[in-house]
């Protein structure tokens, strides 16, 4: 029964965690566990060095992907930990931070906890990037020390104009934190071109890595306060953390199997081509958007253009998102209903009552799968509602 | 051939240094130097005759170095 269900399963919850992964990802991970499962950067013996070389190779692949140096790649526990490190490691009391009205709780909650930091919310215009930049420009003051925004909404799929906002940051000497949980692996991001000081990544989403790992990409000149302290395999005679990256921010043993899995995920993206991936996912979203319109579903964007990713929220009239998602689940289609840890976005798009059903695609999804989804939604409306 | 141990501030810098040297056709290995007291430090073991060239290349590549010693 379980096997049958798995064979027919359609997975549209990739914004929460991508699935399936390329087969090379699990192979790399198994090899790390079975062949060189030693602690990297600690012992100096053959297996420890082998593990460290694999870790370093992943740092290099990420540095190449986001245009920085390998030592500026920091491995953390997850994307949320990366964002916490950037916010709490950089912001001082009385700092002023600008965020958007589409932020995930990974940004909202750490800032809420920092009672002595002033936060202003700025409106993202879903259809006019120039207007969005203007909105930020209008609220910058000489007290603004950081802009912290999502690169792509995990609810509505809107890609924010990070290059233009980065330029604004540079002109005003403001640090720029970008939450790229949904965009890393979907679109090229050059941290120098976009003037990004901190780029937070979720390897288990569109980078096709596995859960249990985060990445923070740092600008060359940034030195943050540490949030956790401990062993690093360097300067052990000192009670202080090293003052250089990445070890300064990587106290304790890092997740080698997840790191080598990420390297395999990056190789997969390179082979497919990141621009191809973006276009493919965008096309699936557009295809679904049009079909959902045909069946009179409730949609939250006027259009899907290339400033949107492969994430699409919807609702069915007279049904709660949970009812729809549960019905789809019973029919082998995985979606996510609710607020998606981003209530401000639901308020913005008008789905704050119950949230929405979210579809999110990767290159492993097909139009045939979407056709099945639409048929099931028609059945739901006809037979249940 | 004598070996020069160039102690790097971290394993990450040692491996990055090894990559940079490789681009210049200079072979090196990342080791814990057997005769040096460097605690947890890692070093690049290179041909001692080209120590100065290696140091120049590494410094130009932004590699943070701790110290060097003949092994």
**Statement: residue B35 has pLDDT above 80:** no
CB contact under 8 A, A70 and B41: no
Contact B8, B44 (CB under 8 A): yes
Look up tokens 């590549």; give the residue: B61
pLDDT one digit per residue (tens) for chain A, 385 residues: 556 566 689 999 999 999 999 999 999 999 999 999 999 988 888 999 999 999 999 999 999 999 999 999 999 999 999 999 999 999 999 999 999 999 999 999 999 999 999 999 999 999 999 999 999 999 999 999 999 999 999 999 999 999 999 999 999 999 999 999 999 999 999 999 999 999 999 999 999 999 999 999 999 888 999 999 999 988 888 899 999 999 999 999 999 999 999 999 999 999 999 999 999 999 999 999 999 999 999 999 999 999 999 999 999 999 999 999 999 999 999 999 999 999 999 999 999 999 999 999 999 999 999 999 999 999 999 887 7
DSSP symbols for A117-154: SEEEEEPPPSS-HHHHHHHHHHH--TTEEEEEEESB-T
pLDDT at res. A251: 96
Longest dimension (CA), chain A: 71
A46 contacts on B by Cβ (under 8 Å): none
pLDDT at res. A1: 54
A40 contacts on B by Cβ (under 8 Å): 11
Chain A residue with minimal CA distance to B31? A44
Q: Does any CB of chain B come closer than 8 Å to the CB of residue A48?
A: no
Angle at A96 between CA A91 and CA A100, to 5 degrees: 100
- pTM over 0.90, yes/no: yes
Q: What's the DSSP call for residue A159?
A: B
Q: What's the DSSP call for residue A369?
A: H
CB contact under 8 A, A244 and B9: yes
B31 contacts on A by Cβ (under 8 Å): 44
Angle at A245 between CA A239 and CA A249, to 5 degrees: 60
ipTM, two decimals, is: 0.84
Contact A48, A39 (CB under 8 A): yes
Half-sphere exposure of A31 (CA within 13 A, CB side): 14
DSSP β-bridge partners for residue A314: A299, A357
pLDDT at res. B71: 67
Contact A185, A231 (CB under 8 A): no
């Amino acid at each position: 029964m379980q096997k049958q269900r798995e064979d027919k399963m359609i997975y549209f919850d990739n914004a929460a965690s991508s699935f399936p992964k390329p087969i090379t990802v699990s192979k790399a991970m198994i090899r790390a566990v079975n062949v060189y499962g030693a602690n990297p950067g600690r012992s100096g013996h053959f297996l420890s060095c082998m593990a460290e070389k694999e870790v370093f190779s992943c740092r290099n692949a990420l540095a190449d992907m986001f245009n920085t140096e390998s030592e500026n790649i920091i491995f953390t526990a997850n994307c949320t930990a990366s964002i916490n490190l950037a916010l709490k490691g950089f912001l001082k009391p009385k700092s002023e931070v600008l965020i958007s009205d589409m932020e995930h709780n990974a940004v909202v909650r750490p800032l809420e906890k920092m009672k002595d930091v002033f936060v202003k919310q700025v409106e993202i215009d879903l259809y006019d990037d120039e207007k969005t930049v203007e909105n930020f420009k209008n609220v910058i003051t000489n007290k603004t020390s950081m802009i912290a925004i999502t690169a792509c909404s995990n609810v509505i799929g809107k890609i924010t104009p990070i290059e233009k906002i980065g330029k604004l940051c540079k002109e005003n000497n403001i640090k720029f934190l970008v939450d790229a949980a949904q965009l890393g692996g979907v679109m090229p991001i050059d941290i120098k071109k976009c003037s990004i000081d901190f780029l937070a990544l979720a390897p288990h989403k569109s980078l096709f890595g596995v859960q249990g790992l985060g990445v923070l990409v740092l600008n060359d000149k940034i030195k943050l306060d540490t949030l956790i302290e401990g062993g690093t395999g360097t300067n052990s005679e000192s009670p202080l953390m090293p003052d250089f990256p990445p070890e300064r921010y990587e106290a304790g043993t890092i997740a080698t199997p997840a790191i080598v899995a990420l390297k395999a995920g990056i190789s997969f993206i390179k082979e497919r081509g990141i621009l191809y991936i973006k276009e493919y996912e965008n096309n699936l979203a557009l295809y679904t958007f049009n079909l959902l319109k045909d069946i009179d579903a409730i949609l939250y964007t006027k259009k899907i253009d290339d400033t949107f990713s492969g994430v699409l929220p919807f609702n069915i009239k007279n049904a709660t998102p949970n009812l729809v998602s549960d019905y789809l689940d019973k029919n082998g289609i995985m979606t996510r209903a609710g607020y998606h840890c981003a209530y401000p976005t639901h308020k913005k798009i008008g789905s704050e009552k119950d949230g929405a059903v979210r579809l999110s695609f990767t290159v492993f999804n097909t139009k045939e799968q979407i056709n099945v989804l639409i048929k099931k939604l028609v059945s739901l409306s006809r037979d249940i509602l | 051939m004598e070996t020069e141990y160039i102690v790097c501030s971290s394993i990450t810098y040692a491996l990055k240094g090894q990559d940079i040297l490789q681009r210049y056709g200079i072979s090196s290995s990342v080791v814990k130097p057997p005769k040096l007291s460097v605690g947890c430090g890692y070093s690049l073991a290179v041909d001692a005759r080209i120590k100065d060239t290696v140091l120049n290349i590494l410094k130009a590549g932004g590699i943070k170095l701790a110290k060097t010693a003949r092994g």
